[in-house]
Amino acid sequence: MRREQDMHKPQAAATVIGHRQAPVAASRAPHSESIRTAGAATVAVGPSRGVLKRSTASAAPRGVNPKQAAVPKTVGVGASRRKPWDLKGKVNDMEDKIRNFQTKARSVNEEMEALKGSLSHSQSRVSQMEKEVEQQRSQISKYEIELQALSHVRQELEKVSSDKSFLQKELSNLEEKYKVMETLRDSQETELQALKMKLSVQESTMTRLQSTLRDREEEVHSLKEMVAEQKEELHTGEMERRRLHNTIQELKASQRSPGNIRVFCRVRPLVSGGLSKHIQLPASDDKSIVLAKTEESHTGKVADTQKNYNFSFDRVFGPQASQQEIFEEISLLVQSALDGYNVCVFAYGQTGSGKTYTMEGEEYDDTRGVIPRAVQQVFKAGQKLAAQGWEFTFTASFVEIYNETLRDLLYTGKASKRPEHEIRKMASNEVTVTNLTYEKVYTEDQVQGLIAVAKRNRSTAQTSQNDRSSRSHSVFQLHIEGVNAGRDVTCKSTLCLVDLAGSERMMKSQSQGDRFKEMTAINSSLSNLGIVITSLANKESHIPYRNSKLTYLLQGCLGGNSKTLMFVNISPESDSFGETLNSLRFASKVNDCVIGTASSNKK
């Protein structure tokens, strides 16, 4: 556009040239480039302005524009050289000038024509360029659209790239994991190989072991057969042992007397120590005892006479005999109880002769009596027989008979609620006591606990009545039931251990009141015991068991089907001589009784 303006300006200048004011226009066109060129020509020929100014101002007519008035002056470049009057010269100059101007106008025109050409060219160029610009614009808008599309693509690309980097990370993680897994797999493969090796070794070992097992099984089978044979032999042996055991006892008993009731005599040590004067125990004989009594001469003229009472029993134990020695002699009987025989051991003797010491003993091992030792043996033997297929059930009871009344020594309830008891005989001929505690026992300790309960119960009664324990019988019973399921054999027996009341005879001076009643009861039950034993020995048709609670209770343990042992305990003091003699006489009578051969309660 600017170029277009530039092209028009010289044209206007050329138009002015045709007028009189053309020089003015020429002098006023310092802004135009083409005029500037012409101006230069003017300056080259014109005089200096300083010179002209003064004369112009003074020569300009009034009312005329000083600028218009100055034109002729300016036109006359050669005025300084021509004389004012040289008009012709001036005209010539003017004509020269005109020619110059014309030449210039022509060149300007030419230039203008050239410019026009150039202009049209430029215009076409411009339009072409505009077209191009349009094209460019449309291209640009296309590009912009493409750019937008590309920016979407770029965003997507960025997203894809971030996804890619994420996936690459994941990939690298997975690669790591894969490597770890590979390592693991390798190690597991190695392990697998090792296990396979082991397996193959073990398989071969197993094959070897299987063949060994088959051999062993055959061995076991033959051993089982052998065991069965040996068990059979053992059983036969056991039966034989029982038979022999019984025979030995019978032989032992028959050594002195042919009766079944065996009697052991035990002499208590003197309380003061030393030796008893009236009791003699022959050193060479452990079955005899001599009771010597010196009878003084009434007249004094003859010497004192000594009367000897000789007794012999199955065994006589002196004051030094230990509890262990005593038990060794009766342990065979206890074994018989497990073999199915009823066994009854009772201690007879005057008060203080050592019955309780013999039967119960004291707490310490050495001083323990028959009852705790028998219980220990029963449980031990029961365990041994279990190996031969025997299974035993033990039931314990402990009863006191005082004044012909029964009292449960295992009762642990309130004293006020203590029940009364009756002895009953069952259809099976078994004797049982109503309301009595029959405690199933499984261990020796449990039985010892029951014995302790019985002791407490006796001492409680003792405090209310002095020496009550001396005046009552205590009966411990262990009911034994054995089953050998394999052989379809059962056995049933009772081990009966009795501490009898003091056997002293009643003095006439004491025969009054409660004491009389007690003594009558004791004497009655003890003499009834003697009567029952004698009746059994005489094989009488009626045995008066029911005459006393004691014989009624012991019915099953006395008689042909039981093994009975009596301890006769004697006091060594000289003032007990009479009672000792009575006890030994009673025991001797019992010892002479032939009741018959016991048979085992085996089915």
Ligand X SMILES: Nc1ncnc2c1ncn2[C@@H]1O[C@H](COP(=O)(O)OP(=O)(O)OP(=O)(O)O)[C@@H](O)[C@H]1O
CB-neighbour burial class of residue 364 (10 A; exposed 0-12, middle 13-18, buried 19+): exposed
- Cα–Cα distance, 556 to 496 (Å, whole number): 10
Nearest to 497 by CA among 379, 361, 313, 315: 361
For the record, the structure tokens of 413 come out as: 């309830």
Which range in 15-23, 110-118, 351-359, 520-528 contacts ligand X by CB under 6 A? 351-359
What residues between 142 and 181 interact with ligand X by CB under 6 A? none
Least CB distance from residue 256 to ligand X, whole Å? 23
Q: Select the residue interacting with ligand X from 10, 23, 352, 572 (CB under 6 A).
A: 352
Q: Select the residue interacting with ligand X from 313, 327, 348, 357 (CB under 6 A).
A: 357
Least CB distance from residue 445 to ligand X, whole Å? 24
What residues between 558 and 587 interact with ligand X by CB under 6 A? 569
**Is 351 one of the annotated binding-site residues?**
yes
468 binds ligand X (CB under 6 A): no
**Is 472 one of the annotated binding-site residues?**
no
What is the strand order of the sheet 279-280 is part of? 279-280, 288-295, 305-312
CB-neighbour burial class of residue 273 (10 A; exposed 0-12, middle 13-18, buried 19+): exposed
Q: Within the chain, how many helices (H) and strands (E) appear?
A: 13, 14
Residue nearest to ligand X (CB): 354
Instruction: Specify the residue, 562 or 569, whose C-beta has the smaller distance to ligand X.
Output: 569
312 binds ligand X (CB under 6 A): no
Least CB distance from residue 576 to ligand X, whole Å? 11
- How many chain residues are in contact with ligand X, going by CB under 6 A? 14
- Cα–Cα distance, 550 to 498 (Å, whole number): 10
Instruction: Specify the residue, 355 or 479, whose C-beta has the smaller distance to ligand X.
Output: 355
Least CB distance from residue 349 to ligand X, whole Å? 5
Per-residue x/- track, 480-519, ligand X (CB under 6 A): ----------------------x-----------------
- Cα–Cα distance, 360 to 358 (Å, whole number): 6
Least CB distance from residue 266 to ligand X, whole Å? 7
Per-residue x/- track, 419-458, ligand X (CB under 6 A): ----------------------------------------
- Cα–Cα distance, 142 to 291 (Å, whole number): 155
Which range in 76-84, 124-132, 347-355, 521-529 contacts ligand X by CB under 6 A? 347-355
**Is 352 one of the annotated binding-site residues?**
yes
**Is 222 one of the annotated binding-site residues?**
no
CB atoms < 10 A from the CB of 585, how many?
14
Quote the longest CA-to-CA distance of the chain.
Answer: 244
351 binds ligand X (CB under 6 A): yes
Least CB distance from residue 582 to ligand X, whole Å? 14
Q: Select the residue interacting with ligand X from 104, 242, 268, 373 (CB under 6 A).
A: 268
Phi then psi dihedrals of residue 443, to 5 deg? -135, 160
Q: Select the residue interacting with ligand X from 42, 56, 470, 580 (CB under 6 A).
A: 470
Q: Select the residue interacting with ligand X from 249, 336, 356, 437 (CB under 6 A).
A: 356
**Is 354 one of the annotated binding-site residues?**
yes
Please, what is the angle between helix 66-75 and helix 49-59, to 10°?
130
Q: Could you give the C-alpha distances from 216 to 202, 212, 360, in angstroms and in order?
A: 19, 6, 53
**Is 432 one of the annotated binding-site residues?**
no
In 253-384, at which residue ranges do the beta strands (DSSP E only) sit?
Answer: 262-267, 279-280, 288-295, 305-312, 315-317, 342-349
Which range in 29-37, 55-63, 274-282, 349-357 contacts ligand X by CB under 6 A? 349-357
CB atoms < 10 A from the CB of 210, how many?
10
Q: Residue ranges of the alpha helices (H) in 423-489?
A: 444-464
Residue 261, C-beta contacts closer than 8 angstroms, at least 6 positions apart = 533, 564, 565, 566, 590, 591, 593, 595
Binding-site residue numbers for ATP are 349-356
Name the site residues for ligand X (rule: CB under 6 A): 268-269, 349, 351-357, 469-470, 502, 569
Binding-site residue numbers are 349-356
